[in-house]
Amino acid sequence: MQNPIDPTLDLVIERRIDVPPGPLWACWTRPELMERWFCPVPWKMTDIELDLRPGGHFRGVIRGPGGEAMPNVGCYLEVLSERRLVWTDALTGGFRPKPEPFMTGIITFDPIPGGTLYRAVALHADAETRAKHEAMGFHEGWGKATDQLAALARTI
């Protein structure tokens, strides 16, 4: 189920999490749960709409502590319940191209004894975009969000 990773173009978070895939999947696919973990606090994503099917849109607004508000829009590409979720910001709903593509996300939830091998991969078009994403704080930001995800998943 896992794509080969290109270390020159991709960024990866991998964790063994002590909850089964189901609750983690729920946190990724139910707006009221996603709102509670997707951005590292004090940032938050609100106004989340998820049309969970290939070609379906996702939409949200990432809000910062200083009143920042950035739309986050994209398109689901693969939706394999409790196993694999793929989306991109290179497209919007209905597979329409979108200017300034940044990344595709591939999240896999592999069941293992005692929980889930959770992997989040960000694919970029080129090494420059990967470096920019890393410099924006990919590891810190996605790492903290993954801590929040695991903590929330343990409660549901």
Q: What residues line the site for its own copies (CB under 8 A)?
A: 3, 9, 54-55, 77-78, 86, 88-91, 94-99, 101-104, 106, 123-126, 129
Would you say 88 or 108 has its CB closer to its own copies? 88
Least distance (Å) from its own copies to the CB of residue 72? 15
What span, in angstroms and rounded, lies between the C-alpha atoms of 27 and 74?
18
Would you say 17 or 90 has its CB closer to its own copies? 90
Evaluated on CA atoms 26, 30, 33, 35, the torsion sign reads positive
Q: Helices 21-29 and 138-153, interaxial angle, to 10°?
A: 110
Would you say 19 or 122 has its CB closer to its own copies? 122
Would you say 33 or 103 has its CB closer to its own copies? 103
Would you say 68 or 126 has its CB closer to its own copies? 126
What span, in angstroms and rounded, lies between the C-alpha atoms of 95 and 76?
9
Least distance (Å) from its own copies to the CB of residue 119? 15
| Burial label, 15 (beta-carbon count in 10 A; 0-12, 13-18, 19+) | middle
Evaluated on CA atoms 78, 84, 90, 91, the torsion sign reads positive
Least distance (Å) from its own copies to the CB of residue 55? 7
Give the DSSP letter string of 35-68.
Answer: TTTSS-TT-EEEEEEE--STT-EEEEEEE-TTS-
Least distance (Å) from its own copies to the CB of residue 1? 12
Least distance (Å) from its own copies to the CB of residue 6? 8
